[in-house]
Amino acid sequence: MDLEANKTWRIQPYTRKFDGNVMKRVRPVSIRPLYSSPEAPQCNLYHNITAVVFSTGFFIGNFFHDFTDVLVPLFITARQFEGEVQILMADNMQHWWINKYKKIFKQLTNYEIIDFNKENQVHCYPRAIVGLYSHGDLTVDSSRSPKNYSMVDFARLMRRAYFLERDFAINLVESSKEKPRLLIIGRNHTRKIINADEIVAVGEELGFEVVVNNTSSHDTVGDFARTVNSFDVMMGVHGAGLTNEVFLPTNAVLIQIVPFGNLEGMSENDFGKGARNMMLKYLQYSIIEEESTLIDLYPRDHAVFKDPESIHRQGWAAMGKIYLDQQNVKLNITRFKPVLARALELLS
């Protein structure tokens, strides 16, 4: 940055720059060059490490956004310093949130996290990074990241943070007597699989040990991380629960069920790309009209079915209300069984 005298830069240190409505709520950080000592406030604390300043943003508490907007970008930005970096949160520092992910933060910094807005001392650092690098949802581009870190490295960091035992999924050629384990991620409200019991039955018929589980049934992130890591295949309808792919062992299979409504691109971008970058096997299954409970709410000649793009053009709120909030899933077993069979093949 070419610093001009008497000029102040205001930076909003949050990754979702493309989301104008969200960015309006992000408090900016001011940067001003000082060319003489009298202008600068007296330092109370001197540090010989780098500072990273960022905002947790608007979606704090949403599991997907916690990772894709903050934790993965923080990994890209801070991991290069191998703990010798201090994290300063620019706005809305929530201690419950810090505590929720404290094991991840401990992998990235050896120092306490500072509440930027409440700190009353002057900290001086030789270098500061304001904002976080982001390469996309649950994605680390090794060609652009410091020290060529990748999403595989992020997954390894998760295993260290939560003491996850399994680095690799089952290989059915080498372990032919063991049953592969299939985890079905349940949902409490929208986009539920209403015939999960039938999926369990067909999974067991194919030779899986099948468990239906819900993230809300576990007390901590580490609790559910250890559960997920014990499985070889994880499946679920598009939603934040699939973020748990970061805890799967290498070569495990992720099956994403895409709700009706032209959501394939979004689903691929949110979870498919990241899965492959973590060296997971990825299968995407798009439901048809007959597998959606929307057929109980709208006539079959409605634009909801005949012209989903017209719903998308009405904006995120209209699209989300119908295709994300009003829809549950009843999988056609005949259509879906080959997907589970393919997952078995990918474990061989």
Percent of the chain surpassing pLDDT 90 = 78
Over residues 241-263, mean pLDDT? 98
pLDDT tens digits along 72-113: 999 999 999 999 999 999 877 888 999 999 999 999 999 999
How confident is the model over 145-155, as pLDDT tens digits?
Answer: 999 999 999 99
Predicted pLDDT of residue 36: 61
CA-CA-CA-CA dihedral for 16, 20, 26, 30, to nearest 10: 90
**Nearest in space to 228 (alpha carbons), one of 209, 242, 207:** 242
Task: Please tell me the class of the 181-346 domain.
Answer: alpha beta
CA distance 17 to 33: 24
What pLDDT is attached to residue 15? 87
Secondary structure (3-state) at 253: strand
Residue ranges per structural domain of the chain: 9-134, 181-346
pLDDT for 47-56, tens place per residue?
999 999 999 8
The structure tokens 């929720």 sit at: 100
Summarize the confidence of residues 276-291 as an average pLDDT.
98
Q: What is the pTM of this model?
A: 0.92
Give the distance from CA 286 to its chain's centroid: 21
Residue 23, pLDDT > 90, answer no
Q: What is the pLDDT of residue 204?
A: 98
Three-state DSSP at 160 gives helix
More confident site: 40 or 228: 228
